[in-house]
Amino acid sequence: MRGPHNILRLIRIGATFERTGAMRTVLEAMEAPRHLRIAARVLGWPFSWLGLKGDTSMPPVTRALTALGPAYIKFGQILSTRPDVVGPDLADQLRVLQDKLPPFSTDKAKSMIEEELGGTVEQLFSEFSEPVAAASIAQVHKARLSSTGEQVAVKVLRPGIERAFRRDIDAFYFAARTIEFLSPSSRRLRPMDVVEHFDGVVSGELDLRLESAAAGEFHATTAADEGFSVPTVHWDMSSRRVMTMGWVEGAPLGDNAVIDAAGHDRKLLGERVLQMFLRHALRDGYFHADMHQGNLKVGANGDILVYDFGIMGRIDEYTRRVYAEILFGFIRRDYRRVAEVHFEAGYVPADRDVDEFARALRAVGEPIFGMDAAHISMASLLSYLFEVTERFGMETRTELILLQRTMVVVEGVARSLDPHINIWQVAKPIVETYVRENIGPRAMLRDVVKTAQVLGRFGPKLPQLAEAALIAQTNPKPPANNTGRGVQALWVVIALLTGLLGYVLGTVG
């Protein structure tokens, strides 16, 4: 499927943006140079007839993205949270992509529910509404369970969404491969890996059983977090294409007028959204990776209510420590340490100059400190940061894509609530707490104990392992030199001692 026929699809993308007027809107919002705008119009106009017409009642960019399909809508959802990058007017246009897309028929939704759950809608629910929200992949109905009378949200996948998304991803793969071929320097950004990562994430979003499992795990890890709430999943009413969970009642986090009318403190809410994301990412290594306004509400008691768990992020403990040290370094304005962490983690090639990299990072971080967030141009900052990564040969880290993307989205949500928020000041207590508890002598000792306990599980096998290792020393085919034999013998001793320690600790524990 990833063949040259995708050239037509790529041409159609550009043609659709030209036909709907989205090309001009995007270039103006991004403050593109005049010569680039002229070139885009001259090159795009002859092919505009190939573009999709879309819904003429929608604004240009929204019209183009909805016409192109779900993958493009997902991209628009991310941009809708960044008015500081795309401009407030374009961000407002794109916000409808979060949960206000045209729904499919209720009759079709009922038919899918009955097919998936094995009972009629009338038997399962005493009440069942028209769609209350519709996004790129699914829509939601408000209902009431016949068995208990509880109000629930019933999420149903859009018909044919798997095939439609596969078609979009196909074009993305072709575009990535073409970019790598035409621009070898772009390979450090690993566009194919990025698309593959995006493919895997959203493919998981197309199976609501996986989303139900994610919601259940997230509910468990955040149960003790004050000011944050996750609804409960009803497993007996969920399947591959249908998901049922507790109803979330609250003010939309993207409607400042409603939030103000309800008497909530938007500054506090902005801080809470950002801090909760950091706490979940650093403390748990498991975070909601689609935290745009369409997936967030404010409860009557001021709690942040989160739903839609199709995209969740997970990072291992080592990566969390690296991420925390980088943030901590920026907060302390210790750019030398930030640079060293990048080199230690292998994010920057070892042959580059650490001092030069630290100086480049200072140019990124210093403009943020002591300046009102409303006066910081994120578009300019991101542009310069991209130049830095290119200059120092940094490759895209696929394991961090979801984390970085979510950070951008969450910061955008926080700024929509409080345009003057200082992300470094808000992040400081969360990052400092994590660093204090997880980096340093205490953490090292805890790691040693944990390693010993893991090895201790092999306690009963230690005699056999030692015997096998010693026999290997007398093998007719010894290592090429005695140094190799000595290293093996030393490893046997270390394994025995560590294993014995682990066995004792495991027994005592």
Residue pointed to by tokens 């809470």: 272
Cβ–Cβ contacts within 10 Å for residue 266, how many? 18
DSSP letters, 273-332, are HHHHHHHIIIIISEEES--SGGGEEE-TTS-EEE---SSEEE--HHHHHHHHHHHHHHHH
* CA dist list (Å): 223 to 94, 229, 314: 33, 7, 18
- Which residues, at least 6 apart from 241, have a Cβ–Cβ distance to it below 8 Å? 112, 116, 156, 157, 208
* Contact (Cβ atoms closer than 8 angstroms) between residue 192 and residue 176: yes
89 among known catalytic residues: no
Cβ–Cβ contacts within 10 Å for residue 161, how many? 18
Cross-strand partners of 156? 139, 242
Two tokens, residue 94: 């794109």
d(CA 379, CA 396): 19
* Contact (Cβ atoms closer than 8 angstroms) between residue 276 and residue 298: no
Of 84, 168, 290, 308, catalytic = 290
d(CA 418, CA 281): 22
| Catalytic center residues | 290
